[in-house]
Amino acid sequence: MNLTLELLLAKPIMENEEGLNHLWIRWQGFSGIAEHTQSEFGTTATLNIQLPEGLHRAVNLNGYIEDNERQIKIDLTEHQDVLIEIYTESKVPYDESLITVQLTIGDQQAAAFVPIRLADADELEEPVVNEQVVERLKQLSIKDDARSTPSQHDEFVSIPPRRVEPRVNEYDFLVERYRIDCDGPGRQI
């Protein structure tokens, strides 16, 4: 099988606590998979990402379907990459670990791993950023913005919240004097 995976991190070193990074997964060589495999199993592959303990991930930024086990379903004839946001919520007990990715189509598999280092925020110097990953993230953001433009068929309307300040008027003293606090209908506290 000629299917190969390439894993790229936006930053080689990530903040140990409340850190954020992006993992770009690319593949090549789908055309090399045997014709009988394509006809027997179709062209939909399953991508499984195994993160070390303490690392979490958001839903893929490409918008591909994910099942209950967080496996990503991909049509290999149409797509060649996936971008994942990974993060830490609290401090993790290690300085370095591996992220493992498996791409499965039928009974054929390709696997790869990428090391990720974690450090405290005060130990990090000027971050080294992979510009290829940043460019791909920008491309997906532009596509996402284009998809999210409102249309007449949208079910939800997003209205930004607005702070309401209490108004002062000449009868406020009556509200304070005669207010009755209730726990429910007919119950006074």
Is the pLDDT score of 157 beyond 50?
A: yes
pLDDT for 75: 87
Percent of the chain having pLDDT more than 70?
Answer: 74
Name which residue leads in pLDDT, 164 or 31: 164
Q: Which of 21-25, 65-69, 73-77, 181-185 has the lowest mean pLDDT?
A: 181-185
Could you state, in order of their start, the residue ranges of all structural domains in the chain?
Answer: 4-120+127-147
Name which residue leads in pLDDT, 174 or 131: 131
Domain at 4-120+127-147, CATH class? mainly beta
pLDDT for 159: 72
Name which residue leads in pLDDT, 122 or 29: 122
Query: Alpha carbon of 69 to those of 41, 59, 113, 120: distances in Å?
Result: 20, 12, 20, 31
Secondary structure of the chain as H, E, C letters: CCCEEEEEECCCEEECCCCEEEEEEEEECHHHCCHHHHHHHCCEEEEEEECCCCEEECCCCCCCEECCCCCEEEECCCCCEEEEEEEECCCCCCCEEEEEEEEEECCEEEEEEEEEEEECHHHCCCCCCCHHHHHHHHHHHHHHHHHCCCCCCCCCCCCCCCCCCCCCCCCHHHHHHHCCCEEECCEEC
Token pair of 5, please?
A: 């995976």
Global pTM reads 0.70
Name which residue leads in pLDDT, 31 or 83: 83
pLDDT for 36: 43
